[in-house]
Amino acid sequence: MTKPKRHHWWPLVQSKHWTDTSGLVNVVRSDGTIFRANPLNLGVESELYTRFGPNDEKDAAIEEWFAATIDSPTAELIEHITNRSHWRRRRYDGDAREAATVRELGWLTPGYLDAIPIPPQVRIAAARYIAALLVRHPLYLEKLVNFHKEPELDSKATKNRALDNMLNVFNIYVERLLSSVIMVSWRAGSSEFLYSDGGITVTEPWRPDIPFDIHAPITPDFALEFLPVPNPTHLDEAIVMEAKNQGVARQNRIILADANRFVFSRQSPPVSFIKKNFGVPAPENIGYRYVNGQLETIYDPTRK
């Protein structure tokens, strides 16, 4: 069997959802120019996860493991989330003042909550895929390579150490994500979720109490939000938050902040919005804290 040489850090199981009716993805550069490409040629690098032996023999086992163990179950994850027959609706009025803030942030407050049951196999698939999406990114791997550089190690030995560490960090993230609250951000307007060559990112080292929060667009129609709170509840379901165009734009700024060269779009891309926010830090006006055993969400509109 031919061993894989082209390693997709943005797996096809996900990137194919950004294709239009012609099977191509719109790609926007930082200057606003656009070209279109097949997802086979996006988010890919040659031998990114290849180990090298003492005689320069190549071992592509990590890429094969990613494809079989991490990426394959993700198709089931996407099908489960997007299948409306799994959704369960219940009445929810909420606090009027809090509802006004939610609407200001670009979310709908329809008077009900939709929740999606998350069986164990779906939660495992989600945790493993998000962790892999984070640590397998070339920029994250480059950070690990730089961390392991030592005078007595050549570049191949250094990379092998970095790959070992990548798998170790992967397991650390999976453990926290398995016990994280999951929310589904579902687009309710014409705007779609964007993706960029910066992938998804988290702040390291981790913060106390709530170590990180992750925004991960999975398709142009929905994103997953992970919040690893100290004492999580209702891990058997994910609450759906419907985002208006304003809410989608707010989340797209998170992805645009880490864009390096390219931004990916299924529909005709919002070029002016992308150019304005390409590489610009996203607003930090929403925060979380854990006080007396309770999760508090803080919104400060003065922090732009």
If one counts every other C-beta atom within 10 angstroms of the C-beta of residue 124, the result is 16
Report pLDDT for 109.
Answer: 93
Report pLDDT for 2.
Answer: 46
Report the distance separating Cα 296 and Cα 212, nearest Å. 15
Report pLDDT for 143.
Answer: 96
Q: HEC profile for the chain?
A: CCCCCEEECCCHHHHHHHCCCCCCEEEEECCCCEEEECHHHCCEEECCCCEECCCCCEECHHHHHHHHHHHHHHHHHHHHHHCHHHCEEEECCCCHHHHHHHHHCCECCCCEEEEEECCHHHHHHHHHHHHHHHHCCHHHHHHHHHHCCCCCCCHHHHHHHHHHHHHHHHHHHHHHHHCCEEEEEEECCCCCCCEECCCCCCCCCCCCCCCCCEEEECCCCEEEEEECCCCCCCCCEEEEEEECHHHHHHHHHHHHHCCCCEEEECCCCCHHHHHHHCCCCCCCCEEEEEECCEEEEEECCCCC
The tokens of 271 are what? 């070029």
In the chain, the amino acid numbered 211 is P
Report the distance separating Cα 17 and Cα 218, nearest Å. 8
Longest dimension (CA), the chain: 68
Report the distance separating Cα 194 and Cα 254, nearest Å. 10
CB 147 within 8 A of CB 141: no
Report pLDDT for 3.
Answer: 55
For the entire predicted model, the pTM comes to 0.93
Q: Which of 63, 65, 56, 23 is nearest to 40 (CA)?
A: 23
Query: Is 1 contained in some domain?
Result: no
Report pLDDT for 4.
Answer: 53
* Model pLDDT for residues 147-177, shown as the tens digit of each residue: 999 998 999 999 999 999 999 999 999 999 9
* Model pLDDT for residues 272-288, shown as the tens digit of each residue: 999 999 999 998 877 77
Report pLDDT for 303.
Answer: 65
Range of the domain at 141: 6-299
Report pLDDT for 53.
Answer: 86
The tokens of 261 are what? 């060269």
Report pLDDT for 284.
Answer: 80
CB 212 within 8 A of CB 202: yes
Report pLDDT for 5.
Answer: 72
Query: Is 304 contained in some domain?
Result: no
Report pLDDT for 238.
Answer: 98
Report pLDDT for 1.
Answer: 40
Report the distance separating Cα 192 and Cα 270, nearest Å. 10
Query: Is 251 contained in some domain?
Result: yes
Name the domain count of the chain: 1
10-residue mean pLDDT profile of the chain (304 residues): values are 73 97 97 98 94 88 92 95 96 84 90 96 97 96 95 92 96 97 97 98 91 96 96 93 96 97 98 98 79 73 67
In the chain, the amino acid numbered 96 is A
CB 215 within 8 A of CB 254: yes
Report pLDDT for 242.
Answer: 97
